[in-house]
Structure 1
Amino acid sequence: MPTVEVGDLKDGDFLLDVREDDEWQAGHAEGALHIPLSEFVGRYGELTEAAPQDGRVHVICRSGGRSAQVTMYLVQQGVDAVNVDGGMQIWAAVGRPVVQDDGRPGFVA
């Protein structure tokens, strides 16, 4: 499974958050695309429209399990995708910003 450490992500890397709505509302990475795992297959077109044509898709969830499933699916579809190891828990633990939709500070639920 292709993976990347949170610390290796750069500003501007395309991030796909596959957590559920309540987790997203509590807090997420600014600029991430949100498509919950439970809706992913039906909303796959949103990813193809939003993802950079020549870039990598970094898939994140709370701890890395759900994002691993989506990463494997994307790789099978020929997408350059990697799982963000440790997910949003590590994201927050290393001090990366977590925000709510209105820009206020958020938390990882």
Structure 2
Amino acid sequence: MAPDLLPSIDVDAAASAPADTVLLDVREYEEWMSGHAPNAVHIAMSELADRIGELDRTRRTICICRSGNRSARVTAWLREQGFDAFNMTGGMYAWSSFGHPMVNHAGNPGVVI
């Protein structure tokens, strides 16, 4: 799917998505540990094919990475697998700059690395 045709969602819409929406963070483990959206699910892009069974195809999925590039690739792939998936524009950089909450692995305020 061409990047300009890829379904996307802005940061504020992702942050206020209904509770049954999955926020899927596809960054690497160290990035996740440093800071992530409080209710996000973590499956690194490199592990997704092996762990796809952990996701529910009936739930809308918003894919997140650091800047939006990896999550765009994941969004395209998930849509090919039958998911209602969207890419969050700007990634965690945008999430942080818009002032949305982030936590680290210990539940303290997180940062984007």
Q: 1:19 aligns to what?
A: 27
3-state SS of the aligned residue for 1:28?
A: coil
Are 2:61 and 1:69 aligned?
A: no
Aligned residue number for residue 96 of structure 2: 92
Q: For 1:14-66, what per-residue CA distance to the aligned partner results, in whole angstroms no more than 9, with x for missing partners?
A: 20000000000100001111000111101111123xx6x2x310000000010
Distance in 2, Cα, partners of 1:2 & 1:24: 24
**Larger deviation, residues 98-107 vs 8-17:** 8-17
- TM-score, normalised relative to structure 1: 0.91
* CA RMSD of superposed structures (Å): 1.2
Provide the rounded CA distance (Å) in 2 between the counterparts of 1:44 and 1:65: 19
Q: Paired residue for 1:107?
A: 111
- Which runs of 4 or more aligned residues in structure 1 lie more than 6 Å from their structure 2 counterparts after TM superposition? none
Work out whether 1:28 is the aligned partner of 2:33. no
Identity of aligned residues (%): 48
Please, which runs of 5 or more residues in structure 2 have no aligned partner?
1-5
Unpaired runs of 5+ residues, structure 1, are none
- Aligned AA (2:11): V
Question: How many equivalent pairs are there?
Answer: 105
Number of the residue aligned with 2:64: 60
